[in-house]
Amino acid sequence: MTDLDREGEMDEKKHEPLIVDVTEEDIAIGRECDCMRCPIARAVNRAYPPGGYRVHEGEIDLDGLTWGLPDEACDFVFAFDIGDSVEPFTFTAQPRRTRD
């Protein structure tokens, strides 16, 4: 994939919501307090290749594009990071406005 191909994909993706399905496997393999290996990051990177998405501070980020996490996903991140038991779930992350 060339840089131009990736830029074209980014233009298409920045206005689309991300549907994220966090599985039991994501939870089992995910790492606490790791923005690229937590269960949500694993799930979004699996669903939307080529990957590189990070989860931090209430959002999903890829190359400067951001999608907001709903409250349910923020609660999940907090619970997972402190070691509480969490369950698989699905959510939609909405794109945030970017400055052009």
Order of strands across the sheet with 65-68?
A: 18-22, 89-95, 65-68, 59-62, 54-56
Whole-number pLDDT of residue 13: 52
Instruction: Report the C-alpha gap between 43 and 92 in whole angstroms.
Output: 12
Task: Give the pLDDT confidence score for residue 4 in this predicted structure.
Answer: 43
The domain total for the chain is: 1
Contact 59, 65 (CB under 8 A): no
Q: Is 9 exposed, middle or buried (0-12, 13-18, 19+ CB in 10 A)?
A: middle
Domain that holds residue 57: 3-95
List the chain residues with pLDDT less than 50. 1-6, 10
88 part of a folded domain: yes
C-alpha span between 60 and 69 (Å, rounded):
7
Domain assignment present for residue 100? The answer is no
Q: What is the pTM of this model?
A: 0.83
